[in-house]
Amino acid sequence: MQRGPIHLRHFLLWLLFAQANAELPMCKESDYHFEYTECDVLGSRWRVAVPNKADTCTGLPDPVKGTQCTFSCSEGEFLNMQSQQCQKCAVGTYSLGTGEAFDEWDSLPSGFVTHGLPTNGWDDHTDCSNSTWTPKGDYVASNTDECTATLSYAVSLKKPGTVTFEYFYPDNSIYFEFYVQNDQCQSTDTESRWMKISESNFSKYGAELNSGNNVLYWRTTAYTLQGSAVKPVLLRNIAISGVAYTSECFHCKPGTYSAKAGSARCTPCPAETYSNKGAIVCHQCEQDKYSVAGSGSCKSRPACTNSDYFYTHTPCDSEGKTQLMYKWIEPKICSETVEGAVKLPASGEKQTCPPCNPGFFVTNSSTCEPCNDGFYSNGTACTKCPSGTEPVMGLEYKWWNTMPSNMKSSIFQREFSESEHSTAWEVAGEYVYTTPGDQDTDYLMLMLNVPGYRLPQSMAKDSERSELSRITFVFETTCTADCKFYFLAGYNQWNNDVVEQWKGSNRKQSYSYLIQSNSTTSFTWTFQRTEELNMERKYSADAAKIFSIHITNVIRGVASQCRRCALSSAKAGSACVPCPPGHYMVNETGVCKSCPPNTFIRADQPVGEAACVQCGPNTQRNKAHTACLSDCALDIQTKGGALLHYDFSPLSNVTAFHSSPRFTNKGLRYFNHFNLGVCGKEGRVPAACVDNVTESRREVKGYICQSTVVPSDIRSQSMVSTQPFIIGDSLIGVTTDTTLDSISSPKWLFPSASSLPDVIFYYKSSETTQACKQGRSATVRLRCNPTVTAEDHITLPSNCSEGTCDGCTFHFLWQSQHACPLCTKNHYREIVSACIQGIQRTTYVWQQPLQCYGGESLPAQKVSACVTLDFWLKFGVSTGTIAAVLLISISCYFWKKTRKLQYKYSKLMMSSEGRECELPTADSCAIMEGEDAEDDLMDLTKKSFFTKIKSFSRERTSDGFDSVPLKSSSRRQREEDSDDA
C-alpha cells in the first residue's frame, strides 16, 4: 500500500519524459534494453525499458508488470526480458541460470577485490602492497611471501544458493582458508573453512549460501621458515548460484566449445585441436603444428632434441630377457622431419633379466610374484621359514625392470597447464630416474603407497618401545642448475609433509627415516630442476636417481629373511617360540641365554649377544628389557665424599616452554616450542608435539620434541604449531659428568658459581636427517636453585638461542628447587640463645648458601631450663663474703696462736738469763698444762683488747724489751729446793 504513490510517480515521470522527447525518432529494439525495478514488500516488480543512450530516440515500450522476485531460470537457460520467459542458450554459449561464473582470469573480473596485509602480530611497517592474488589467464594465483593475501567478492542472493570453485593447494607452507560473511558479518564455521591439501591436480569445493548479501573471502598466508620456495594456491572456475537471474548467455572462451543448446558449461577441446571464442566445434591442428588440451590456438612443432625422449628397460619376456628401449615423451610435440631434429635411438640388445626383488620369485612366465605367508626369498625362489622363526615383513626394491604396482609417477607444473606427460620417473634396470619434462620448473613426483605397518608378533607386546617401521633409500642427483630433491611423508591422502630436502648435485648416498605413526600411507620423492621461470628446457640432463627403497614391518609386505624371536612372548597360534624377556638367542643354535644385569634388548639387533646393551649411569631397564628408564630418584657421591640424594619426581610431568622470538626475513615472528619430560616410571606420559594446521594432526612422541609456533589469529587459534620432530626418544644416562656416550654438555654453555654440581640427563633420537646423520641428541641440566618456585624455569644457551649450536645436539638448563638434593642434618646448624629468666632456647637454621630442598625438615626450636647470671652473681658475692669472713677469722686465729708462741718464747728467754750459752731447762709437762691456767688467769683480768695493748706498751723495759711477769720469789725458791733434794 505504501508503494502506490511511488508507482504513480514513476508513471508521471515517464509521461513527462515521453512529452520531452516527442520530437525524437521512434526507438527500435536495439536502442533499449529491459530492466526490473526493485521488488516491493509483496515481492512484485515492474519491467521498464531503459535506453542504451540518453536522448537518442523516443517511444519506449510502456512499463509492464514483471515476474515475481522469486522467479529464476535453470542451468543452460536465460531470461528473455521481451517475453519474460526462460529460453535455452544457443550453441557456443552457456549459462548457469540463476548464477554467474568466472573462468577467465586475464584480469580480475568486475566485483573482485584483492589486497595484501601484514599478518597479525607483524610490524605495521611491513610492505605487503604487492602481496595479492594475481590473474594468470586460466586461474588466479595467491601470494607466496609472508603476508596475508585476500581475494573477496560480494554478491546479493535472492534465494539460498551455492558457491563452487576449483583450487590447487600443493604446499602446506601456505595456510589457505575460504569463508563467507553474511549481513551481520558472521563467518562460516571455523573447522570447515580450511582447505585440504591437493594431491596432484585441482580439487573442487562447494559451500551453501544464504539469501541476502554474502561476501566471499579466499585468504592465504605463507610461512617460509626454512627459506625454501613456496608453491602458490591456484583458483579457477568460480561459480555462484542463487542470484536473481541472468538475462544473457556467455560465449565459450577460446579452447572450449558448446555443441548443443542449453549448455551450462563449455567443453575443453582435446589435444591437437583448438577453438575460438563462442565455438560450437573444435578444429584440428595442421600437420606441422600441435596443441595441448584446452588450447585456443596451435603452435608450430619444434625440432626433436635429446630432451624429447627417454630410455627404459622393458619387462622380462617369456624367455627371461629384457632390453634397453628408447621412447618419445608423450604427448609427442616435436617433429623429426624439421632440419636439425634428432632421431629416436635404436633399442639395445636383449639381456638376461636380473632377479626379482627380495620377497618375490620368478614364475614360469618370467614375471615376479610375491611369496606366500611364512615364506621368504632373495629374489629367485621362495623358502619356508624354519621352525621357531618368523618372516621379516617389508618392501624392498632394488631391481627396476617394471614400476611396482604400488608406485606411480606424475608431473606438477608450477605454471599449471592441462599438459601432462605419461611419465615423470622411469625404470632403468638398476635404478629409477627422472625423465625430461615440458619445463625445467616442473615437479617430477614419484609416489609409493603403503597399506600400513605392523610389528612382528615377537615385538607386538612391547609396541610402545619397539621401532614401528623405517624407510631407507639410496639416491643421487646430478645437476648443473639449482635443482632440489625432496622427500615427503604423507599422513593421509590429502597431506604430504617435507621430511628432508637436498640441493644441487649429491653423490650416491643412503637416507633413513623412522616411521612413528601408523597413519602414514604414502611417500613421495619430488625433483625440480630449477625455480627459474624459463619456457625453454635448458637443464633436461639434470636428473635424480633412486637405486633402492626398503621399508620394514609393512602390512601385506614380503619377506627377504626370517629371524628367531628373541624379544617377548609370541601371540597365541604363532609358530614362533621366543626367548624369555632379557634373553638373547645364540646364533644358529636357538639356545636362549640371559643378558647381563641391567641391560636391555636392542630391537634392531634381536639375535646374538650384541643385542644386549648396557644401561647408562643411574638408569634401570624396564620390565620388557627394551629400554632404560630413570625413576627420577638417584644418589650421587661428591668429590668431597658426601652422598647427595635427589628426587626429581615433581619435575617428571611434561613441561612446555619456548625460545625467545625469532623472525623471518620479512619480520614474521615465531617461536621454537619444546615439550620435555625428563624422567618417570613405566607408563609415564611422553612429551608430544603436534601439527595443528593440517588435518593430518601429525604427532611425534618421546622425551623431548620441538615444533615451530606462529602466534596468529589464523584458524581462530592463538597459536599455530607446525613442523614437529623428535629430539630425544631414548634416555642414555644421568650423571654429573659433562660427557656421556659421545654427547657433550660443556660447562661454558651454562656457567655456574655454585660448588654443587649439575645433574645432567642425556637423550638420543634414532631419527636421522641429512644434517644429523647420527640422529639428534639432547642434554638437560638440572641445577639447584631454591629461590625458583616455578617448575618450568627452563632456559637455552645464550650463544645458541635456538637451543642448539650445530642443529643436532640441543642443550637445556632447568633451574628449580626440586633440582636440589634432599636436605639432611648436614645442611643445618644450631644456635643457642642466652639464658633469660631461667629459660634457654636452641634454634636450628639452614647453612648458607642453601643447597637443598625437601628431605629432612628443620627441627623445632628446643626450650630448656637454665641458671641466670644474676643468680651466679649473687652466689659469687655471698661466697666471697663468707670466704672473706672465714679468712679474717683464720687470720685472727693464727695471730692469737702467734701471740701465744711469742709468750712462750719470752718465758724461755727469761728463764735462761745469767746463763749464757745455756738454754733454760725444759719445764715439766705441767708447764704445758699450766699454760691454760695462765691463760685463764689472763682472761680473768677481763681487760679489753685496746686496754691490753696499752698495758702491753707500758710494760716494755728501758732496753726496749717487753717486761714479762715472773713467778714470785717464794715459789721460785720452793722449786729450787725441790730440785736440790
Predicted confidence (pLDDT) per residue in 355-380, tens digit: 899 999 988 877 889 998 889 998 88
Q: Does position 215 have pLDDT exceeding 70, yes or no? A: yes
- Regarding whether 405 and 389 lie in a shared domain, the answer is yes
Query: Which has more pLDDT, 607 or 444?
Result: 444
pLDDT of res. 103: 81
- Regarding whether 680 and 774 lie in a shared domain, the answer is yes
Are 72 and 95 spatial neighbours (Cβ–Cβ below 8 Å)?
A: no
- Overall average pLDDT of the 84-102 stretch: 86
Q: Could you tell me the residue range of the domain that residue 42 belongs to?
A: 21-70
- Overall average pLDDT of the 766-778 stretch: 83
Q: Does position 330 have pLDDT exceeding 90, yes or no? A: no
Hey, what's the torsion of the CAs at 506, 508, 512, 513, to 10 degrees?
40
CA–CA dist 251, 713 (Å, integer): 42
- Regarding whether 538 and 396 lie in a shared domain, the answer is yes
CA–CA dist 134, 131 (Å, integer): 9
Task: State the CATH number of the domain containing residue 396.
Answer: 2.60.120.260
Are 216 and 163 spatial neighbours (Cβ–Cβ below 8 Å)?
A: yes
Are 89 and 262 spatial neighbours (Cβ–Cβ below 8 Å)?
A: yes
Lowest mean pLDDT among 30-44, 106-120, 354-368, 634-648: 30-44
pLDDT single digits (tens) 509-524: 999 888 877 777 789 9
Of the candidates 585, 198, 618, 552, the residue with the CA atom closest to the CA atom of residue 410: 198
**Cα–Cα separations (whole angstroms), residue 216 to 152, 191, 352, 786:** 5, 16, 62, 57
Sign of the Cα torsion 788, 790, 791, 794 reads negative
- Regarding whether 847 and 767 lie in a shared domain, the answer is no
- Overall average pLDDT of the 50-68 stretch: 80
pLDDT of res. 211: 82
- Regarding whether 116 and 131 lie in a shared domain, the answer is yes
pLDDT of res. 939: 47
Q: Which residues contact 384 (CB under 8 A, 6 or more apart)?
A: 374, 375
Q: Does position 566 have pLDDT exceeding 60, yes or no? A: no
- Regarding whether 268 and 225 lie in a shared domain, the answer is no
SS (H, E, C) 791-846: CCCEECCCCCCCCECCCCEEEEEEEEHHHCCCECHHHEEEEECCCECCEEEEEEEE
DSSP structure class, residue 826 = G
Are 880 and 857 spatial neighbours (Cβ–Cβ below 8 Å)?
A: no
Query: Which has more pLDDT, 182 or 886?
Result: 886
pLDDT of res. 923: 47
Q: Which residues contact 81 (CB under 8 A, 6 or more apart)?
A: 33, 34, 35, 47, 247
816 domain-assigned = yes
CA 748 vs. chain centroid, Å, equals 26
pLDDT of res. 116: 87
- Regarding whether 229 and 193 lie in a shared domain, the answer is yes
pLDDT tier for residue 185 given thresholds of 50, 70 and 90? low
Alpha helices in 408-487 (DSSP H): none
Considering 545-554, 703-712, 824-833, the range whose residues carry the highest mean pLDDT is 545-554
CA–CA dist 577, 585 (Å, integer): 11
Of the candidates 548, 619, 223, 555, the residue with the CA atom closest to the CA atom of residue 358: 548
Number of domains observed in the structure of the chain: 6
885 domain-assigned = no
602 domain-assigned = no
Are 973 and 965 spatial neighbours (Cβ–Cβ below 8 Å)?
A: no
- Regarding whether 117 and 93 lie in a shared domain, the answer is no
- Regarding whether 277 and 166 lie in a shared domain, the answer is no
Query: Which has more pLDDT, 455 or 666?
Result: 455
CA–CA dist 592, 584 (Å, integer): 5
pLDDT of res. 98: 77
pLDDT of res. 457: 66
2 domain-assigned = no
Q: How wide is the angle at C-alpha 251 spanned by C-alphas 247 and 257, nearest 5°?
A: 135
Q: Does position 779 have pLDDT exceeding 90, yes or no? A: yes
510 domain-assigned = yes
Other beta carbons within 10 angstroms of residue 545's beta carbon come to 19
Task: State the CATH number of the domain containing residue 658.
Answer: 2.70.130.10
Query: Which has more pLDDT, 170 or 141?
Result: 141
pLDDT of res. 305: 87
**Cα–Cα separations (whole angstroms), residue 54 to 15, 24, 32, 59, 60:** 16, 11, 10, 13, 12
pLDDT of res. 690: 84
Q: Which amino acid is at 417?
A: S
Q: Does position 9 have pLDDT exceeding 60, yes or no? A: no
- Regarding whether 455 and 406 lie in a shared domain, the answer is yes
pLDDT of res. 588: 56
pLDDT single digits (tens) 870-888: 666 777 778 888 888 888 8
**Cα–Cα separations (whole angstroms), residue 204 to 168, 238, 438:** 9, 10, 26
Q: pTM value?
A: 0.58
pLDDT of res. 66: 78
Q: Going along 93-138, which residue ranges are E strands?
A: 93-94, 99-102, 112-118, 134-135
Q: Does position 903 have pLDDT exceeding 70, yes or no? A: yes
CA–CA dist 225, 58 (Å, integer): 67
Lowest mean pLDDT among 270-274, 423-427, 584-588, 649-653: 584-588
Domain's final residue, options 533, 561, 589: 561
Domain's final residue, options 299, 320, 337: 299
- Regarding whether 529 and 656 lie in a shared domain, the answer is no
CA–CA dist 257, 275 (Å, integer): 7
- Regarding whether 707 and 648 lie in a shared domain, the answer is yes
Q: What average pLDDT does the structure give for the chain?
A: 79
118 domain-assigned = yes
371 domain-assigned = yes
DSSP structure class, residue 914 = T
Task: State the CATH number of the domain containing residue 106.
Answer: 2.60.120.200
- Residue 371 phi/psi, 5-degree rounding, is -70, 160
Crossing angle for the helix pair 925-940 and 869-911, to the nearest 10 degrees:
110
pLDDT of res. 915: 53
Q: Does position 954 have pLDDT exceeding 80, yes or no? A: no
pLDDT of res. 940: 42
Query: Which has more pLDDT, 699 or 238?
Result: 238
Q: Does position 589 have pLDDT exceeding 80, yes or no? A: no
Query: Which has more pLDDT, 162 or 610?
Result: 162
**Cα–Cα separations (whole angstroms), residue 801 to 370, 655, 772, 796:** 52, 19, 19, 6
Q: Does position 144 have pLDDT exceeding 60, yes or no? A: yes
CA–CA dist 539, 477 (Å, integer): 13
Q: Does position 27 have pLDDT exceeding 80, yes or no? A: yes
pLDDT of res. 810: 94
Q: Does position 450 have pLDDT exceeding 70, yes or no? A: yes
- % of the chain exceeding 90 in pLDDT: 21
7 domain-assigned = no
Hey, what's the torsion of the CAs at 176, 180, 181, 183, to 10 degrees?
170
pLDDT tier for residue 414 given thresholds of 50, 70 and 90? low
Q: Does position 387 have pLDDT exceeding 80, yes or no? A: no
